A and B are shown apart, each in its own frame.
Chain A
Amino acid sequence: MSTTTGTTTGTTTGTPSGTTTGTRPSPTGARLDALAAGTDGTPGRAALVGYLPVGFPDVPGSVEAVRTMVAAGVDVVELGMPYSDPLMDGPVIQHAVERALAGGTRVRDTLRAVEQVADAGAPVLVMTYWNLVLRYGVEAWARDLAAAGGAGLITPDLVPDEGADWLAAADEHGLDRVFLVAPSSTPERLASTVAASRGFVYAASTMGVTGVRAEVGSQAERLVEDTRAAGAARVCVGLGVSTPAQAAEVATYADGVIVGSALVRALADAETTTGGLAALEAVTAGLAEGVRAAATARGDR
């Protein structure tokens, strides 16, 4: 994986998705680059990106869960903002956000949660369906997210074509904007999505929604290659990654491994809050070991 490392460390300000047009460098990009570069005695490796929704099992519980997973080895946090119609999410995450909403979780709770986890040691990206941001006001949201210490947004139902106001607001406030690419994306769309992204590009490993799958789609590695060829400095892979072995495999070719449903399931399946946090810690530690094992493999190549 020497090419990956070389690309990401060597061109952080020279390629579109590494360009910093705002007031600060890409918070997520800086973290991914540092991990890829490694330190003396620590080989470069891919990042572990962990998703949890705000408000599950309740707002304080979700804050504690995020801090737990960061302590257990998550490098970048993907904090899900609960939405009534999560059409890119499978059953595990759907049920968790339904419960969060039924428990009264509000949009402002996400900003408070960002504030409370921002110092945990990992950049915090908020994953949100677009209507919530539109309703809040795109510019106001960007301002308040930046003020809360957030790193940026992952937007599953916003393609850059519809996001001109978000592109401008993200530039204004130095926020990362993580757009998705899919195995069905044409070369033209890969290029335009990469150009609009900042921080990293989210490569959907398969055609489908979030969830635990037996194997990571074989299309994922190809998509990462194509996305890099389209100019991306950093590409992380998500959808269907749930085991340490899958994480290790993806970490050999991607800049980050995104895990969601497996972490949410650890919380959801437990009978007690403490049990949930313990299970989450164990699952996270296993995945963290997976990406570190891959680092050795990368170094060997």
Chain B
Amino acid sequence: MSQTQQAAVQRAGAEAVGTTDGGTTTPDAPPATQAVPTAPPTAPHGGASTGASRAVTDGQAAPRVPVRATGPLATQQGPYFGEFGGRFVPEALVAALDELDEQYHAALADPTFHAELSRLHRTYTGRPNPVTEVPRFAAHVGEGVRVLLKREDLNHTGSHKINNVLGQALLVKRMGKTRVIAETGAGQHGVATATAAALLDLECVVYMGEEDTRRQALNVARMRLLGAEVVAVQNGSRTLKDAINEALRDWVASVDTTHYLLGTVTGPHPFPEMVRDFHSVIGEEARAQVLDAVGRLPDAVLACVGGGSNAMGIFNAFLDDPEVRLFGFEAGGEGVTSGLHAARFSGGSPGVLQGTRSFVLQDEDGQTRASHSVSAGLDYPSVGPEHAWLHSIGRVDYRPVTDAEAMEAFRLLCRTEGIIPAIESAHALAGAVQVGREVAAARAADGATDETVLLVNLSGRGDKDVATAAAWFDLIDDEEPLHAGEGEQL
């Protein structure tokens, strides 16, 4: 991580000075003459000076721009990413978040921590995983377009989730805590957490919406096999959002012994920054691998965005390369106009949910609206605050992909390349089909004559999605219904 960030700083210093990105990072800075809080100054978050300022602007949440927003994009630190991020949590959790922040930064400065995490990634996760060029798939994306996949699906437990889980689990050992709790939707993060808990001898409780435990019965069994307790949450909509509420309620009462091993780049500071850093290995590897394979940087990097951890992981290494376009694909569900989607940037608005200020699906009153997606991993009504910031400064282009488009790309990769992707990742593949020609045309207009190179993060494998796909494509004879039932993801 520190190498990546150092490299990013150097790259930024060499190349990115004076770019549009460098120049647009503070568009929302409030004029200094606006209302200034009259409260006594309080040390934000345990004394870390953020230079944040706020203004009252017509009742809208006021923009806050940290001093660091003028630096390289790749090394942004919390609590704030522009006007997003922060810590909207009960006071009871602040001490634990401060401790986590402190321990995390101590670990970052400790070579033995890096050595242990690297060793685990090499011998347990299976890193580095390869970049695979997929020409038969690329033929459907557009002429003169090459597509390379970063193969996070080949990691132990089948997705990128393990990168963050092992990092946090090692921190838990450093903090001397003995119990971890986690939320999970489809079960990927829950399985990864249960795996790390077994490996490092930690007690593990996974909160999962009751609706999801029914749809994901086999992942529940997987977590139990690994020694975790799975709690079916019966509140609210009984899905991921409610599982996070319940995990937070547990944490408020158990914080002395327990770490909340949050699974994505959202939640209160320091989670967004820390989880991004643990996943930045994805982009670090992929950047070198693409340079090696193609001899230059890709023209665009594409990822699906639920909470946004796989996307932050691969984007981070390219944020300060202005020639590399970045695309994030949200779950468009049945279409943004249908109301049944998880497209926070197309169909949401700025708000606070579960500890952080970001884009949220909400009604006129600010009540959270239910999200919808064929992919459980993208089915969440908010998104990481750093994504909200990258959206607001125009560095990343976020677009919705519908269920139908994602499933078509899912089928296409299976048939052309012999790789079954997670339905989450299939949103990024559909995104490649959606923007491949556009990126190529824009380059041609700029005078480029060589092939266009797209790097897609294949964040997970699709074994868990076989039942959903079988139902979607009607692959099972009616007389032999899948044991798993409709919508179940193996």
Q: Mark B246-262, 1 if CB is under 8 A from A, else 0.
A: 00110011111000000
For residue A230, CB closer than 8 A to chain B, the reply is: no
Interface residue from A137, A156, A179, A209 paired with B253 (Cβ < 8 Å): A209
Q: Give min CB distance, B239 to chain A, whole Å.
A: 12
Establish whether residues B59 and A107, one from each chain, have CB atoms under 8 Å apart when the complex forms.
Answer: no
Interface residue from A91, A165, A167, A189 paired with B62 (Cβ < 8 Å): A165
Q: Mark B225-268, 1 if CB is under 8 A from A, else 0.
A: 00000000001100001100100110011111000000000000
Q: Mark A114-154, 1 if CB is under 8 A from B, else 0.
A: 00000000000000001111111111110000000000000
For residue A193, CB closer than 8 A to chain B, the reply is: yes
Establish whether residues B37 and A84, one from each chain, have CB atoms under 8 Å apart when the complex forms.
Answer: no
Complex Cα distance, B248 from A131, in Å, reads: 17
Establish whether residues B351 and A85, one from each chain, have CB atoms under 8 Å apart when the complex forms.
Answer: no
Establish whether residues B252 and A207, one from each chain, have CB atoms under 8 Å apart when the complex forms.
Answer: yes
Establish whether residues B58 and A137, one from each chain, have CB atoms under 8 Å apart when the complex forms.
Answer: yes
The A/B interface has a contact count, at CB < 8 Å, of: 166
For residue B89, CB closer than 8 A to chain A, the reply is: yes
Q: Give min CB distance, B304 to chain A, whole Å.
A: 24
Say whether, besides A196-B39, A196-B40, A196-B42, A180 and B353 are in contact (CB < 8 Å). no
CB-CB under 8 A from A158, the residues of chain B are 88
CB-CB under 8 A from B90, the residues of chain A are 87-88, 156-157, 180, 182, 204
With CB as the reference atom, state the residue of chain A lying closest to B62: A165
For residue B368, CB closer than 8 A to chain A, the reply is: yes
Establish whether residues B352 and A130, one from each chain, have CB atoms under 8 Å apart when the complex forms.
Answer: yes
Q: How many residues of A are counted as interface, with CB atoms below 8 angstroms from the partner's CB atoms?
A: 60
CB-CB under 8 A from A189, the residues of chain B are 91, 94-95
For residue A21, CB closer than 8 A to chain B, the reply is: yes
With CB as the reference atom, state the residue of chain A lying closest to B60: A137
Complex Cα distance, B43 from A192, in Å, reads: 8
Establish whether residues A182 and B92, one from each chain, have CB atoms under 8 Å apart when the complex forms.
Answer: yes
For residue A106, CB closer than 8 A to chain B, the reply is: yes
For A106, A133, A209, which residue has the most chain B Cβ atoms within 10 angstroms?
A: A209
Say whether, besides A88-B252, A162-B86, A168 and B236 are in contact (CB < 8 Å). no
Residues of B within 8 A of A (CB): 35-40, 42-45, 47, 54-56, 58-62, 86-96, 235-236, 241-242, 245, 248-249, 252-256, 351-355, 360, 362, 364-368
Q: Give me 30 A-to-B residue pairs in the complex whose CB atoms sit less than 8 angstroms apart, sorted by A's number.
A: A85-B236, A86-B245, A87-B90, A87-B248, A88-B249, A106-B365, A107-B365, A107-B366, A130-B352, A131-B353, A132-B366, A134-B351, A136-B59, A137-B60, A138-B56, A156-B90, A157-B352, A159-B89, A162-B87, A165-B56, A165-B61, A180-B92, A182-B91, A183-B92, A184-B94, A185-B92, A188-B43, A192-B43, A196-B40, A207-B92
Residues of A within 8 A of B (CB): 16, 21, 83-88, 90-91, 94, 98, 101, 106-107, 130-141, 156-165, 167-169, 171, 179-186, 188-189, 192-193, 195-196, 204, 206-209
List 10 extra interface pairs beyond A135-B362, A168-B36, A207-B256, CB under 8 A.
A85-B242, A137-B58, A139-B58, A159-B87, A160-B42, A168-B56, A182-B91, A189-B91, A207-B255, A209-B249
